[in-house]
Amino acid sequence: MITTVLVEHPWLSPTALALLVVCGPLVGRAVADRPGTAWLLTGLGTLPVLVLTMLPTDRRAFQRCEVAWTLPTVGRVELAANVVLFVAPALLASVATRRPVLVLVVASLLSALIETVQALVPAIGRSCSTDDWLCNTIGVTTGVLLGVVALRLARRRGPLAGLR
């Protein structure tokens, strides 16, 4: 169903990515001095990841794991969506933890774990693919870089700027 929507509206993923690139650092800056809010938003941003990758489908997957290394393009809507899916959680987790390198490693490992579960539990009807892991990790890297920008913006703003 999601793939059908993305194929019919191929502009969705690039538009979402553009919005995240423009607005993400500003949102990150706004919550940089509110770790509880940053963690809440990280959790909310992670929900689509879990739902779209782990929710069982009505089909049964029989292959173990497709090994391919394809970079996302606008024409490959599912791969582009895999990039976008991880940007917001990685950005917000980078702001919440203030440890972007740790977020990069943990989120990439989380993506690998998701693909492993998809490979080992065919009953959920999900297909494992190294392409998915690659695109998710590109999204994580993008989110972490945006998180670094947000933290720098927050640092430049200063701790008392939010008290106006």
Q: What pLDDT band is residue 63 in, cutting at 50, 70 and 90?
A: low
Is the per-residue pLDDT at 3 higher than 70? no
Within 8 A by CB and 6+ apart from 120, the residues are none
pLDDT bucket at 23, cuts 50 / 70 / 90: very high
- Assess whether pLDDT exceeds 60 at residue 1: no
Residue 53 CA: distances (Å) to CA of 44, 126, 127, 153: 15, 7, 9, 33
CA angle centred on 117, ends 116 and 118, rounded to 5°: 90
pLDDT exceeds 60 at position 132? yes
Whether residue 109 is predicted with pLDDT greater than 90 in this model: the reply is yes
Higher pLDDT, 75 or 89: 89
pTM (2 d.p.) = 0.86
Give the pLDDT score at 164.
44
**Mean pLDDT, all residues of the chain:** 87
What value does the mean pLDDT take over residues 50-72? 75
pLDDT at 47 over 90: yes
3-state secondary structure of 65: strand
CA pair distance 123, 115, nearest whole angstrom: 14
pLDDT, residue 127, reads 80
User: Does position 108 have pLDDT exceeding 90, yes or no?
Assistant: yes
CA-to-CA separations, 120 to 90, 109, 136, in angstroms, rounded = 26, 16, 19
- Beta carbons within 10 angstroms of residue 130's beta carbon: 15
Over pLDDT 70: what percentage of the chain?
A: 88
pLDDT of residue 2: 65
| Region 32-61 average pLDDT | 88
Alpha helices in the chain, H assignment, sequence order = 2-8, 12-31, 35-54, 77-97, 100-120, 130-157
Separation of CA 152 from chain center:
21
Q: Where are the domains of the chain?
A: 2-159
